Structure 1
């Protein structure tokens, strides 16, 4: 998670781009959990089905 936190803070990735790294049923190879996404971005993670 440290890499993604640094990447977000340094503006190497946006919150939208970071969604690709979140592990979900549709993306079992993600690197961070939805909870970690929220910790990094301060935004709730919602799947496309929820949005």
Structure 2
């Protein structure tokens, strides 16, 4: 998760792009959870 925190902080990825790294039913190979997404962005994952 640390990499994604830094990537978002330094604007290497947007919140929309970060959604692609979230583990879901349709994306089982994601690297972060929906809760971690919220921790990083401050926005609920939808």
TM range (shorter): over 0.9
Flag the structure with higher helix content.
2
Name structure 2 gaps, 5 residues minimum: none
Residue 34 of structure 1 aligns with which residue?
A: 34
TM-score relative to the length of structure 2: 0.99
Return the index of the structure with the highest Cα Rg: 1
Aligned length: 46
Alignment root-mean-square deviation, CA: 0.2
- TM-score of the pair, normalised by structure 1: 0.90
